[in-house]
Structure 1
Amino acid sequence: MIRLSLKKTAAAAAVTLAFTAGALLQNDSALSPVAPAAAQQIQSQLPDFTKLVEENGKTVVSIEVSKKPKSMPSRGGSDRFRGIPKDQLDLLRRFGFPFGPDFDFRGPHGSMPDMPARKGQGSGFIISPDGIILTNHHVIDGADEITVHLTDNREFKGKVLGSDEKTDIAVVKIDAKDLPAAKLGSSEKVKVGEWVAAIGAPFGLENTVTSGIVSAKSRNLPSDQFVPFIQTDAAVNPGNSGGPLFNMKGEVIGINSQIFSTSGGFMGLSFAIPIDLALQIKDDLIKDGKVHRGKLGVVIQTLTPELAKSFGLEKAKGALVAEVTKDSAANKAKIEEGDIILFFDDKEIEKASDLSRSVASAKPSTEHTVKVLRDGKEVTLKVKLDSASDSDVPTEAQQAKSKGRLGVSVRPLSDEEKKKFGDGLFVVSSEGAAAKAGIKEGDVLLSVGGKKIRSFDQFKKAVENAKDTLALQVAREGSRIYVAVKLDDKEKKEEKK
């Protein structure tokens, strides 16, 4: 009985399988004319990089650099091991190497033996048939020897025509002719979401192609205030640095420069220097070997929502002038501390870094129009830029850290302090809202709500009349910044003299 049931069950299962299979076969047959068409339609929507790579892969080069270490004379004692990396010394100690007073690493001429040359590797791309190559500054920085590898297996010695650390751009020249040059596009026309391809030599694997989309434009990175990076999710790894980022037209729109990673490898966040900026820097580097930048002579900071409110603005937009350098271009143009710079020529300034980039991109001795907001009114000024060194291009002042609640005790400035700061009040102690906003003991309060402080009564009145946010200008450690203090109407206390 049991055996019969099993047979019946097996037969039923067989019938079911046969029916299902038949249905599947029928369905496959019915869909067969549609499936290939659907697959073809899906495939046609995906980008095809084959033509791009065929036409442009040969314009990408691999760059190998080496830096020769110097021999260091041994003077006995601990100096005998100078030049040997600490981890190697630790390893030798661990295995009982005899570091006694009589032991010496000196060579036959009394000098330390040469350490192996340090090698590095990156990418670049040819921009002119006579051998001009663009790459990153950090690829060739400190190199004693540069070797450029072409896709046709030829090698050339490279010479650095110029390099700029601020924008991480370098120009290298090789002695060659009739080279394939990359087509250069415009990073200004790049759209977020469009397909891009990166070609380079990650980990030394030459002419490797990866693809992705533009994830964002004008991306600010903490260490690079002069570069509005193009962010992509195209896979970029060590060795890709200096290589080109192409759009689907086969035009270079950026130079792959950095990745964000917690592991050292690609994590979907890569950043390219816009080609428009790179070409501008390239011209200076080829002509003079360095970049000529304009200098305004101000310390600026981005407006926070609290600061914007304290200045009567509905939107936090513009660069707040925290300090004006004496006899600078800004000083001569009558730019004042507390001004909010809204436009530099016809470029709208959204944040402090926008102004830094605009000024740095301008040439020294050129005249520009600056529109500022002062006491609630727009003022248009003309400024003739000075020449900047690498260290004095306008920078964004660091915001004070928040802590604490409300209230400051202040005292008048001494004669010596007045010579240094002019008018103002010295902060004896800070607590509550002031401390929370970052005001601390030792600060010198220079202005309240955009107006200079000339007396304690003036300061007290300004605090009493403030609504819910008050902007204080503070002198601290040689710099001047604005701090927005958020006031609670219920807890406004009379300031202590």
Structure 2
Amino acid sequence: MNDHVNPVSSNMRSVLRPRRLALLGTVAALGVAMLAAAPGGSLFNAASFTSPALAAEANQAPAGFADLVAKVKPAVISVRVKIDQDNDKRAMFQQNRMDSDEDTPFDQFSREFGFRGPNGMQQFGKGMPQRHRQVTGEGSGFFISADGYAVTNNHVVDHAESVQVTMDDGTVYTAKVVGTDPKTDLALIKVEGKKDFPFVKFADARPRIGDWVVAVGNPFGLGGTVTAGIVSASGRDIGAGPYDDYIQIDAPINKGNSGGPAFDMNGNVIGVNTAIFSPSGGSVGIGFDIPAQTAKLVVAQLKDKGSVTRGWLGVQVQPVNADIADSLGLKEAKGAIVDNPQDGSPAAKAGIEAGDVITAVNGTAIKDSRELARTISTMAPGSSVKLDVWHKGAAKTVTLTLGELPNERQAKNDAKNGKADDKGKADEGQAQPGTPRLGLGLAPAGEVQGAGQKGLVVTQVDPEGPAAQRGIQTGDVILNVGGKAVASVGDVRSELMQAKSAGKRSVLLQVKSADATKFVAVPLG
């Protein structure tokens, strides 16, 4: 049997069976009542044999989605783009798509009958040089105003040289890209020339887990396809970007659904279909939507100025786990610990230091580093912000003015091309008995080429040691231990003993690796 073909499973049959049994029970009760109506006898009321709720269910037809679909479907569009493959644009386009590169039966079907190739893209010019070909891609979208503004995904229109939209009645229009936001994968397009397009609105409230959801879109280029399911989860981080906050749904969405809407039962858009989890390339009932609240904020800026500006704090942060909280004396593992305030940033100017934990913004508690990033990103540059900070064992409040998030910010790494050697190596195991062990060999950074001048380079790692268990690797640079800068093995030993004397179960290390600077809480062995 083809793995992609999923007949009605036993699970589905088990879901249907209770409903069927309930209806049969109602019919049986009615039969008893009819038999009791013998000539000359009294006719019993069937309601006396059934509960009021069951009787009401028997008299009411199952609710469907037809009325909802008739209301919203005209506002949903298919989006078709053309991309010039010159200068490797096609490779960039494919990289930014949410759709899997794996083939599905629809891909095989499409190629066999001369339709689209893999990923739903039509291929032209077989035999032409690879450096210059044209491809087309298809996705979905929806009108949000009568004058032709429509929302889709950034990865649908990314690098597009032309955009066409097809309405539910088959009418085709040319559209232009008003603005895009790669960080949230949203785009705003515009169809000119009409003022009476059907449109839908964003929902005001986030849906609850378990609420019904209806997705409409253009899967595999089929157009006008409706699927239904429920909201499966909320606040999903799938590693797609810095502001991940996806709504997870189980309404089937596939290649080509990108940019289409997901509706609640009132016909409001609760999210924009963006990504799927798919080992096979087809829907397995795990899809991800950009929340309506995020889309509204982004689309408003795209419409106003064609781009999105975000508040900028200027810190690299990471979540606070239980070990980090313990090493810092925090009661709860919440907030965002600052790995590195960037030079000249609003945070650095306000005195925020590496190792500080931001616990609240304008009085609202921050759960983790991702929530901090999302919160700051919704604020306008120039906004005054009050931060609650845990600084060296005490709480304090810092007020600062946000900057503007640069479009591209590359982190520099002094040790990027450096390699650790054994020069000046000192094993922490040479310490006196009773000193906690990390399982590391260390050398001053200034003695290792390419490692910079600050901290200690990890020259050896005991694979069974506590540091290895926390992911510390050869070539990493330890900048501070327990909140204090270290320049020698003796400094490390001193801080380890101090942490042990304070009764701490772990010690916090600031570690510079090949790709970032971060804090790692290592158990005191």
Give the TM bin, normalised by the shorter chain.
0.7 to 0.9
| Equivalent residues in 2 for 1:477-496, closer than 5 Å | 477=514, 479-488=516-525
Match of 1:450 in 2: 483
Paired with 1:333 and 1:390, the residues of 2 have a C-alpha distance of 23
**AA at the equivalent of 1:390:** N
Secondary structure of 1:177's counterpart equals coil
**AA at the equivalent of 1:356:** A
Q: Deviations over 1:386-418 (max 9, x none)?
A: 222233399xxxxxxxxxx84334344539999
Question: Do 2:230 and 2:249's aligned partners in 1 also have CA atoms closer than 8 Å?
Answer: yes
Paired with 1:380 and 1:53, the residues of 2 have a C-alpha distance of 51
Match of 1:38 among 44, 54, 58: 54
Question: Do 1:71 and 1:113's aligned partners in 2 also have CA atoms closer than 8 Å?
Answer: no
Question: Do 1:294 and 1:386's aligned partners in 2 also have CA atoms closer than 8 Å?
Answer: yes
Give, in angstroms, the shift of residue 131 of structure 1: 0.3
Paired with 1:120 and 1:349, the residues of 2 have a C-alpha distance of 40
Question: Do 1:409 and 1:427's aligned partners in 2 also have CA atoms closer than 8 Å?
Answer: yes
Question: Do 2:451 and 2:457's aligned partners in 1 also have CA atoms closer than 8 Å?
Answer: no
Match of 1:408 among 440, 446, 453: 440
Distance 1:479 1:65, change over 3 A: closer
Distance 1:45 1:322, change over 3 A: farther
Question: Do 2:438 and 2:524's aligned partners in 1 also have CA atoms closer than 8 Å?
Answer: yes
Give, in angstroms, the shift of residue 118 of structure 1: 1.6
**Does residue 1:127 correspond to 2:160, yes or no?**
no
Question: Do 1:64 and 1:146's aligned partners in 2 also have CA atoms closer than 8 Å?
Answer: yes
**AA at the equivalent of 1:435:** A
Paired with 1:43 and 1:373, the residues of 2 have a C-alpha distance of 62
Match of 2:506 among 448, 451, 469: 469
Paired with 1:28 and 1:66, the residues of 2 have a C-alpha distance of 63
Paired with 2:409 and 2:145, the residues of 1 have a C-alpha distance of 33
Give, in angstroms, the shift of residue 485 of structure 1: 1.0
**AA at the equivalent of 1:50:** A
Match of 2:180 in 1: 163
Distance 1:151 1:378, change over 3 A: same
Q: State percent identity of aligned pairs.
A: 36
| Equivalent residues in 2 for 1:335-414, closer than 5 Å | 335-392=352-409, 406-414=438-446
Give, in angstroms, the shift of residue 463 of structure 1: 0.7
Question: Do 2:249 and 2:286's aligned partners in 1 also have CA atoms closer than 8 Å?
Answer: yes
Distance 1:325 1:286, change over 3 A: same
Paired with 1:410 and 1:114, the residues of 2 have a C-alpha distance of 49
Secondary structure of 2:245's counterpart equals strand
Structure with bigger gyration radius? 1
**Does residue 1:62 correspond to 2:99, yes or no?**
no
Paired with 2:508 and 2:185, the residues of 1 have a C-alpha distance of 36
Give, in angstroms, the shift of residue 451 of structure 1: 2.7
| Equivalent residues in 2 for 1:88-107, closer than 5 Å | none
Secondary structure of 2:163's counterpart equals strand
Match of 2:198 among 177, 180, 193: 180
Paired with 2:457 and 2:383, the residues of 1 have a C-alpha distance of 40
Q: Deviations over 1:188-224 (max 9, x none)?
A: 4321111111111222232222111111111111122
Match of 2:330 in 1: 313
Match of 2:110 in 1: none
Distance 1:419 1:215, change over 3 A: closer
Paired with 1:273 and 1:233, the residues of 2 have a C-alpha distance of 14
Distance 1:47 1:329, change over 3 A: farther
Secondary structure of 1:221's counterpart equals coil
Paired with 2:299 and 2:54, the residues of 1 have a C-alpha distance of 48
**AA at the equivalent of 1:184:** F
Match of 1:99 in 2: none
Q: Deviations over 1:37-63 (max 9, x none)?
A: 838627969653222112111111111
Structure 1 residue ranges without an equivalent (≥5): 1-24, 73-106, 395-404, 489-497
Paired with 2:289 and 2:306, the residues of 1 have a C-alpha distance of 22
Give the stretch that moved more between structures: 319-328 or 441-450.
441-450
The CA RMSD measured in Å over matched residues stands at 3.3
Give, in angstroms, the shift of residue 330 of structure 1: 1.0
Question: Do 1:295 and 1:393's aligned partners in 2 also have CA atoms closer than 8 Å?
Answer: no
| Equivalent residues in 2 for 1:9-408, closer than 5 Å | 29-30=31-32, 33=46, 38=54, 41=57, 47-69=63-85, 117-175=134-192, 176-186=194-204, 188-392=205-409, 406-408=438-440
Question: Do 2:506 and 2:522's aligned partners in 1 also have CA atoms closer than 8 Å?
Answer: yes
Paired with 2:353 and 2:58, the residues of 1 have a C-alpha distance of 59
Secondary structure of 1:124's counterpart equals strand
Secondary structure of 2:210's counterpart equals coil
Paired with 1:444 and 1:234, the residues of 2 have a C-alpha distance of 47
Paired with 1:486 and 1:30, the residues of 2 have a C-alpha distance of 72
**Does residue 1:440 correspond to 2:473, yes or no?**
yes
Give aligned pairs, total: 417
User: TM-score normalised to the size of structure 2?
Assistant: 0.72
Give the stretch that moved more between structures: 220-229 or 156-165.
220-229
**AA at the equivalent of 1:387:** E
Paired with 1:418 and 1:113, the residues of 2 have a C-alpha distance of 40
**AA at the equivalent of 2:201:** K
Give, in angstroms, the shift of residue 369 of structure 1: 1.3
Paired with 1:157 and 1:378, the residues of 2 have a C-alpha distance of 57
Paired with 2:330 and 2:348, the residues of 1 have a C-alpha distance of 25
Paired with 2:255 and 2:364, the residues of 1 have a C-alpha distance of 35
Question: Do 2:206 and 2:292's aligned partners in 1 also have CA atoms closer than 8 Å?
Answer: no
Match of 1:491 in 2: none
Paired with 1:270 and 1:361, the residues of 2 have a C-alpha distance of 25
Give the stretch that moved more between structures: 45-54 or 378-387.
45-54
Give, in angstroms, the shift of residue 464 of structure 1: 1.7
Give, in angstroms, the shift of residue 71 of structure 1: 11
Question: Do 2:448 and 2:457's aligned partners in 1 also have CA atoms closer than 8 Å?
Answer: no
Secondary structure of 2:242's counterpart equals strand
Structure 2 residue ranges without an equivalent (≥5): 1-26, 35-45, 89-124, 412-436
Paired with 1:71 and 1:228, the residues of 2 have a C-alpha distance of 33
Give, in angstroms, the shift of residue 340 of structure 1: 0.9
Give, in angstroms, the shift of residue 69 of structure 1: 4.7
User: TM-score normalised to the size of structure 1?
Assistant: 0.76
Paired with 1:26 and 1:46, the residues of 2 have a C-alpha distance of 20
**AA at the equivalent of 1:52:** L
Give, in angstroms, the shift of residue 445 of structure 1: 2.3
Distance 1:43 1:65, change over 3 A: farther
